[in-house]
């Protein structure tokens, strides 16, 4: 039945006919199966870390969310309603936060990451995209949305940005982008507002001043100067994949494959390449309170800015591929990796 529907879509059926040919699939078991509480959760593959006030929050595989109230010395596993891998976190204050992940999942917390509830999943997201496409009457958009529905909720979200007022976006594979204006209570398919005709994956999202930036595959950079009403393609200093974007005091930082990282200075000058001294993919970044940038690589390296735009590797015990990094206390950083959450001192980085 699934292949038949896709074939008919490709053959150019009318929108009216397509409206009756996209039955939603059943939800995968992991989507609505709560994460198992485990004493070894802090050693699981963790993909993202952030702060909620003074609290640290980390998330990763099997729907695991951890929080720490002592700057990473001890971790407590939170209660989550899913066993799906989580990829990114965003908090707007000490209480309110969101997590996104595989299967089109969006979770929300209002108690600083202790408990979470689902706001969106891939089945609902596909239906929203389908309804938007049908209302627009564009046959190509309808075909793409029909495929999204019939293919099931297997497509991940990779990043998000939601502000204090509850306005924001979530982005993911195959040009998935949804907008909310009420903190995730409702969502709108926003793909038609993005100049991404190849439907390239969207990996990163950041706000620089009044502008919003999306980054992704094949050097994709998209910019919005109107609050996200439209994202226009921009020239890129690198043709490979960007894995993330970070707003820093120095400007907008993009990082990706083969050790590539570029900075768009706050002064408005053109893109400047960072000398990362690695050919490994950069998977995470942060800025320290002293202004230095720190990069995390998939080869397990921490790269610390020693001089402006120049980085040196920081010796640390092997933690496997690194996924994200954030500043800790006592002149150190806290890193998520495929082996869990680890800490690393950086006091000697400028010696």
For the beta carbon of residue 29, count every other beta carbon within 10 angstroms: 8
pLDDT at 349 over 70: no
Residues in Cβ contact with 308 at an 8 Å cutoff, skipping those fewer than 6 apart: none
Rounded CA separation 339/181 (Å): 36
Rg (CA), the chain: 20
Q: How far is CA 41 from the centre of its chain?
A: 21
Mean pLDDT of 2-26: 39
Q: Where are the domains of the chain?
A: 32-284
pLDDT at 10 over 70: no
pLDDT tens for residues 222-254? 999 999 999 999 999 999 999 999 999 999 999
pLDDT number for residue 213: 98
Of the ranges 5-14, 84-93, 298-307, which one carries the lowest mean pLDDT score? Answer: 5-14
**b/e 319-330 (16+ beta carbons within 10 angstroms → b):** bebbbbbbbbee
Residues in Cβ contact with 202 at an 8 Å cutoff, skipping those fewer than 6 apart: 158, 159, 171, 172, 173, 175, 176, 177, 194, 196, 214, 215, 216, 220, 222
Say if strands 272-273 and 310-314 run parallel, antiparallel, or are unpaired. unpaired
pLDDT tens for residues 112-162? 999 999 999 999 999 999 999 999 888 888 998 898 899 889 999 999 999
pLDDT tens for residues 153-192? 999 999 999 999 999 999 999 999 999 999 999 999 999 9
For 210: left if phi > 0, alpha if psi spans -120 to 50, otherwise beta; the answer is alpha
- The model carries a pTM of 0.90
Mean pLDDT (the chain) is 90
Closest to 44 (Cα-Cα) out of 80, 77, 1, 79? 77
pLDDT tens for residues 30-49? 999 999 999 999 999 999 99
Sign of CA dihedral 350, 320, 90, 104: positive
32-284 has which CATH code? Answer: 2.120.10.30
């Amino acid at each position: 039945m699934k292949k038949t529907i896709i074939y008919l879509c490709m053959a150019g059926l009318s929108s009216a006919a397509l409206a009756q040919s996209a039955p939603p699939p059943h939800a995968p078991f992991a989507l609505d199966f709560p994460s198992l509480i485990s004493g070894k959760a802090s050693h699981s593959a963790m993909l993202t870390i952030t702060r909620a006030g003074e609290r640290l929050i980390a998330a990763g595989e099997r729907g695991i969310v951890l929080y720490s109230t002592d700057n990473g010395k001890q971790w407590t596993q939170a209660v989550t309603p899913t066993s799906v891998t989580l990829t990114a976190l965003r908090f707007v204050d000490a209480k309110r936060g969101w997590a996104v992940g595989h299967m089109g999942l969006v979770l929300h917390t209002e108690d600083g990451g202790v408990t979470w509830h689902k706001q969106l999943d891939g089945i609902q997201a596909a239906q929203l995209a389908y309804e938007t496409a049908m209302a627009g009457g564009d046959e190509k958009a309808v075909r793409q949305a029909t495929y999204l529905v019939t293919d099931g909720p297997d497509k991940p979200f990779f990043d998000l940005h939601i502000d204090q007022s509850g306005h924001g976006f979530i982005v993911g594979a195959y040009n998935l982008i949804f907008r909310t204006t009420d903190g995730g209570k409702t969502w709108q398919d926003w793909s038609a507002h993005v100049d991404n005709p190849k439907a390239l994956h969207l990996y990163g999202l950041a706000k620089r001043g009044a502008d919003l930036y999306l980054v992704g595959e094949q050097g994709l950079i998209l910019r919005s100067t109107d609050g996200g009403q439209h994202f226009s393609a921009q020239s890129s200093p690198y043709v490979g994949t960007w894995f993330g974007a970070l707003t820093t005091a120095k400007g907008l930082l993009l990082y990706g494959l083969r050790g590539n990282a570029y900075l768009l200075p706050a002064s408005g000058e053109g893109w400047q390449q960072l000398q990362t001294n690695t050919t490994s993919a950069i998977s995470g970044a942060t800025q320290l309170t002293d202004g230095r940038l720190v990069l995390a690589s998939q080869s397990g390296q921490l790269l610390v800015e020693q001089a402006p735009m120049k980085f040196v590797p920081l010796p640390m015990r092997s933690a496997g591929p690194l996924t994200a990094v954030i500043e800790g206390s006592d002149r150190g950083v806290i890193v998520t990796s495929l082996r869990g959450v680890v800490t690393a001192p950086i006091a000697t980085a400028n010696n």
